[in-house]
Amino acid sequence: MRRLHVSLVGFGAVGQGLARLLLTQRERLQREYDLDIRLVSVANSRHGCIFAEEGLDIAELLALASQQKALTEAAHTQRWDSALEGIRAIKADVMVEATLTNLRDAEPGLCHIRTALERGMHVVTANKGPIALAARELLQIARTQGVQLRMEATVMAGTPVLSTAFEGMAGTRITAARGIFNGTTNYILSAMAEGREYAEVLADAQALGYAEADPTADVEGYDALAKAMILSALLFEQPLTVEQVTRTGITGVSREQVAQASEEGKRIKLIASVRRHESGKVEASVEPVALPLSDALAHVNGAMNAITFESEALAKVTVIGPGAGGIETGQGLLTDILAIARS
């Protein structure tokens, strides 16, 4: 049986989601993939990095996290003061980066990923910032080092978006991608289509855990913008800055506008769109759009996400699924880990 040593940076909802999957699916992964995945290190910004050569006790780590105790209370571990120190000291097969997204400079995730790649580790990430801002640089380092950088979880959590584009649609030329990439805004707009007011639905979304206490990244379109930047960099090899993506959030969408769209046989959705023109120029936008009911995206409601690819051979291909959540995003990370193991 093959053994794969995994180092995890970030132990919030996403990191814990992956850890839970590694724990609950361990026997199945051994049986079906002939693969023993050992989580040998875990790091976060508060507690630094802990390491155990034969593998950490995942159940113990999850229990500590649920009790809001320090990871450093885990038994029989080596410790470093920071995630970066741990990455520099540990030689794992795969480093998983699951820290929070930062679209200003992508740190500290960018430094974590760059360092791991330069040390010859494969990297899997759910962090949108480094891929949105530095995909070209990081992919070049990976190629030079002969390792893989995989990022399925950065667009729609565990829903297979990038693998659909690069593997499922291999051989055809993708010309555009547009989608609903934020569950919070889609939940709000879906509820407003039923006659509810924005402020009321936002409060409901916060109570349900769909929206943060500060929902700016969602409702002003920054989360969807990051995913548009990722798609431009990966699908079209054209990096974009935040300023190059036209952005309008949903805070200005009124119940009356939603009702008017409904009377016209349309539904308003926050759509992120990336298109490459024949000239090679790439245009990207995030904005509320009144979609006709003939559009598959018009029927995606609640907290669900979706993407429609346009290509020369397949016209339109739409993928619908969850786009957020600890377990769901953890599944995207696990999918990439297994892809690395198979290769």
pLDDT, tens digit, 9 for 90 and up, residues 108-141: 999 999 999 999 999 999 999 999 999 999 999 9
Residue 218 binned pLDDT confidence (cut-offs 50, 70, 90)? very high
The per-residue pLDDT for 145 is 98
pLDDT, tens digit, 9 for 90 and up, residues 295-309: 999 999 999 999 999
The per-residue pLDDT for 80 is 97
At residue 100, does pLDDT exceed 90?
A: yes
At residue 162, does pLDDT exceed 90?
A: yes
227 has catalytic annotation: yes
Q: Which residue has the tokens 């229990």?
A: 63
At residue 150, does pLDDT exceed 90?
A: yes
Which whole-number Å values give the CA distances from 244 to 101, 136, 162, 164, 282, in the listed order? 19, 17, 22, 26, 10
At residue 229, does pLDDT exceed 90?
A: yes
At residue 213, does pLDDT exceed 90?
A: no
Q: In what order do the strands lie in the sheet with 94-97?
A: 78-80, 48-51, 35-44, 2-9, 94-97, 122-125, 149-150
Mean pLDDT of the chain: 96
Residue 212 binned pLDDT confidence (cut-offs 50, 70, 90)? confident
Q: Which of 128, 227, 266, 269 is catalytic?
A: 227
pLDDT, tens digit, 9 for 90 and up, residues 24-44: 999 999 999 999 999 999 999
What is the mean predicted confidence (pLDDT) over 261-267? 97
Q: In what order do the strands lie in the sheet with 304-311?
A: 245-247, 282-292, 266-276, 174-180, 304-311, 315-322
pLDDT, tens digit, 9 for 90 and up, residues 43-89: 999 999 999 999 999 999 999 999 999 999 999 999 999 999 999 99
311 φ, ψ (degrees, to nearest 5): -145, 170
Residue 210 binned pLDDT confidence (cut-offs 50, 70, 90)? confident
At residue 211, does pLDDT exceed 90?
A: no
